[in-house]
Amino acid sequence: MEVHPSGRVSDLKMADRAGLMARIEEMAESIRNEAGKPSNFLVVTHFDADGLGAGAILCKALMRLSVPFHIKVAQGLDEEILGEVSGSRYDVVIFNEIGSGYLDLIGGIDFRGRRVMIIDHHQTAGNLPDGIMHVNPHDHGFDGSKELSGSGIAFLLSKALDESNSDLAPLAVVGALGDTQDIGPKRSLTGLNEEVAQFAASIGSLEIREDLILYGRETRPIHRALAQTTSPFLPGLTGEEDKCLDLLASAGIRVKEDDKWRVLADLDEEEKQRLLSNIIKHLSSRGIGGELALELVGKVYTLSRERRWTPLRDGREFASLLNACGRMGRPGLGISICMGDRGAALEEANRTLAEYRRSLAQCMGEIYSNPGRVRELREAFVILGEGLIDEGMTGAVSSMLSSSGAFNSKKVIVVSTITKRGEFKISARLSDRSKGLGINLGSILKRLSAKYSGQGGGHDVAAGAQVKMELAEEFLRSLDEEICEAAGTHAS
């Protein structure tokens, strides 16, 4: 019987857990052996918050093994990137939080005798090439989109390497929050993610409690925290500080104490209730159900060893900062922060975050104000982002739209744009109402992208793909048909 550090008995399937942990230990032993030769390591990781957190966790563990390493951040894998990896001078290549959806592509690369490992949590697609070590929770009965993030499995590997890496547990929580895996009751983490969070709490590096969830809840003036909240996206409030000030005034909530701006932590319980009630009224006036506002109440994960009044203290705010760094082309800055860099690096990261949020607000404002940007298919809404949405931002915009309730529909949200290479790129998300319909976006996009000579895949609820621009229209028609079939409807 498995018992948490907190004393709670685990309800996870022991056989599945035992198999996963055995594979993790096998990979840890292989890394220790390579480190003893010694070998040069290359870590290839994903560019989103979970990927940067996972990359930092693994690199911190390698640093503690005193082995030379380099980290490469990628939006996805293709023949060009894999060719660069194949031609590099490294002895060991670890694909971290990326790779499981590209097994056939990886299998076609000559790695020239290098030791190649894949540790990932995305859905597996293709056949595992001979000689490559692969660890993925899906292979052991755990859902990598809900129960274990990429940062989480990187932490389990790092902890298996050495118990001294236990202090990296909070980063795994940040990664899971960045991957929006807080899907349990009251926006809590579940499965192995929850076990990692409970472990972090047991060693005093994390506090977990229920409260209002606003961006910058400990560091921003109340009106600014409300305006900068994007998960969920609050139409008419997110990105609108003046409207947020009006709402607070109508709720009778003082925004200043003497000359000091008040933060969410300064509010008493009665003020928080008034704030929530007025947000519900605001959304109702726009025809949006009040249940969206209730998503603001839930589990808050505080990194208790981080300095107060910084964005690194709140888990979700930390994750937002990492997302900004990755999607604004500054992934190295995010990894540096995760590995302990502060001072000037944190100031630069905060500037990057501010720029990222301005870009997101601009995109969302244009989408809401310009119906021509939205194309309705039978089972999907396609947001046409050419000239507006950067290729690194499609996932963030699709996630915000899927959680905003703006379309109030069971249809899938698809955000499209054109990449710098001139390819057609989409990021797709299941809306809250489309979850449970049997639609597996990762599987659909993996299959379709291969059919159209592109690349794609991901999780069941969140996935992406890229194909040649001239195939975009046909690709979207096929995607709509596949979603219709999966949802049990029929395309006309």
Stretch (H or E) spanning 344: helix 344-369
In tens, the pLDDT along 174-189 reads 999 999 999 899 999 9
CATH number given to 14-178+190-203:
3.90.1640.30
CB 65 within 8 A of CB 444: no
d(CA 485, CA 74): 32
| Residue 329 pLDDT greater than 80, yes or no | yes
d(CA 58, CA 157): 8
CATH class of 370-487: alpha beta
- At 49, list the tokens: 């918050």
| Residue 5 pLDDT greater than 90, yes or no | no
In tens, the pLDDT along 442-482 reads 999 999 999 999 989 998 999 999 999 999 999 999 999 99
| Residue 4 pLDDT greater than 50, yes or no | no
> By three-state DSSP, how is residue 44 classified?
strand
Residue with the two structure tokens 């249809």: 411
CB 59 within 8 A of CB 69: yes
Q: Residue ranges per domain, the chain?
A: 14-178+190-203, 211-364, 370-487
What is the mean predicted confidence (pLDDT) over 290-310? 90
User: What is the predicted pLDDT for the residue at 487?
Assistant: 81
Q: What is the mean pLDDT of the chain?
A: 91
d(CA 74, CA 70): 13
- pTM for the model: 0.85
14-178+190-203 and 370-487 in the same fold = no
| Residue 157 pLDDT greater than 50, yes or no | yes
User: What is the predicted pLDDT for the residue at 71?
Assistant: 97
User: Sorting pLDDT into bands at 50, 70 and 90, what band is 116?
Assistant: very high
In tens, the pLDDT along 19-44 reads 999 999 999 999 999 999 989 999 99
User: Sorting pLDDT into bands at 50, 70 and 90, what band is 11?
Assistant: very low
CA 28 distance to own-chain centroid? 25
Share of the chain above pLDDT 70, in %: 96
Reported as half-sphere exposure (CB side, CA atoms, 13 A), residue 14 has a value of 5
User: Sorting pLDDT into bands at 50, 70 and 90, what band is 15?
Assistant: very low
| Residue 12 pLDDT greater than 60, yes or no | no
d(CA 12, CA 10): 6
Q: Which of 299, 348, 308 is nearest to 328 (CA)?
A: 348
